[in-house]
Chain A
Amino acid sequence: MTATHRHVNYFGVFWWLLALTILEVGVIFLPIAKLLIAILLVGLALAKAALVAMYFMHLKFERRTLALVAITPLLLCVLLVFALLPDHSATPHRSAAPPQAPTTSH
C-alpha cells in the first residue's frame, strides 16, 4: 500500500502506451467498417487511460473506494452521451443553412 511497496515497471507501462498509440494511428487507415474502427479506437483509448490511472496515478495500489470516485465521471459521461444523442439524431443539420430565396413582403 505504501510508496515503498510499489514496484512498478514504469518503462514497461511506457512501452505499452507507445505501442497502443502507434496501433491507434494505424487503425484509422485499416480498410474495415467505420463502426469497427470506432470501437477499436475507443477500446484502445480506454486501455491507455486505464494504464495511466492504474500505474502512473497508482490507482491500482489505492483503496477500492477511491477507484470508484475516479470511475464515476466516466460512467456519468457515458450516460450523458446517450442522453444527448436523441437531440441531434432526429434532426440532421448543416452548419450553414442554404440561402433562402428572398421573399417579397409588403
Chain B
Amino acid sequence: MSQVAAMTTVVEPAESPLTPESWGKLGMWTFLAGDAMSFGALLAGYGALRYGSVDWPVPADVLGIGLTAFMTFLLICSSVTMVLALAAIQRGDSRGLRRFLALTVLGGLMFLGMQAYEWTHLIHRGLTLTGNPFGAALFGTTFFIITGFHGAHVTGGVIYLSCYLVKDLMGRLSQTDANAIEIAALYWHFVDLVWILVFTFVYLL
C-alpha cells in the first residue's frame, strides 16, 4: 500500500510552464485571451459597419461624454483598490483586504448604476436596439450590444468579487488565498482594460 502511495506521488502534475505560481492563473489568462477576441470581434464589426455607413452620427453628439468619462475614472479607481486589496492579502493584512475589496465592489456597482441611468436616458430619447432618431439604426444596435456585453462582464466581476468579500466576512479567507485573489484581480483589470477601449472606440472616436 505504501509502495502504491509512493508511486502515485511521483506522478505529480507538472508545474504550469508560464505561471509557476498556479495553473489557475494560466487558466484565467487563457480565458481572458479568448474573451478579448469576443470584444475584439464586436469592436471590429462596429468599425466595419460604421465605416460603411453614410449617416452614422458623431457619438459625442448623442452620447454623454462627461458621464462616461467619469465612469472610466471610476473603473480606474476600482482597479487601484483591487491591486491594493491584493497587496493587502499578500502581506496578511485582513482589514486592508476587506476594505479595498469592498471599495472595488462598490466601484463596480456604481459603474453599473451609471450605465443603467445612461441607458434609460438614451432609450427615453429614442435610441434603442433597433432604432436611432439621430441617424443609422445600427448605431443603436452596436452601442447597446457592446456596452451591454461589457456591462454583463462588470456584473460577473461584481458577483465574483462579492463571493470573496462574503468569504472574507465569514473569516474564511487568509494569506494562503492570495493566489485566488490575484486571479480574480486579473479578471477585474481586464474588464477595466476593455472599458478603456470601448470608451475610446464607441464614445470618443
- A residues touching B (Cβ–Cβ < 8 Å)? 2-4, 8, 10-11, 13-14, 17-18, 21, 24-25, 27-28, 38, 41-42, 44-45, 48-49, 52-53, 56-57, 62-63, 65-66, 69-70, 72-74, 76-77, 80-81, 84-85, 87-89, 91-96
Contacts and interface: CB of A to CB of B under 8 A. Distances in A.
Contacts of A57: 185-186, 189-190, 193
Interface of B: 17-19, 21, 26, 29-30, 32-34, 36-37, 40-41, 43-45, 47-49, 51-55, 60, 65, 69, 72-73, 76-77, 79-80, 82-84, 87, 90, 132, 135-139, 178, 182, 185-186, 189-190, 192-193, 196-197, 199-201, 204-205
Given A18-B73, A24-B204, A49-B197, A88 B40 contact: no
A81 B65 contact: no
Contacts, number: 142
A81 B193 contact: no
A17 B76 contact: yes
Q: Is the interface of B mostly helix, strand, loop or mixed?
A: helix
A73 B200 contact: no
15 contacts: A2-B21, A4-B90, A14-B77, A21-B72, A25-B65, A45-B200, A49-B196, A52-B79, A56-B83, A56-B185, A56-B189, A74-B36, A81-B44, A84-B44, A96-B137
Nearest to B80: A14
A94 B72 CA distance: 32
Given A56-B83, A74-B36, A77-B40, 5 more contacts: A14-B76, A17-B76, A25-B69, A94-B136, A95-B136
Q: Is the interface of A mostly helix, strand, loop or mixed?
A: helix
A69 to B, nearest CB: 6
A84 B199 CA distance: 21
Given A76-B40, A84-B48, A56 B55 contact: no
Nearest to B37: A73
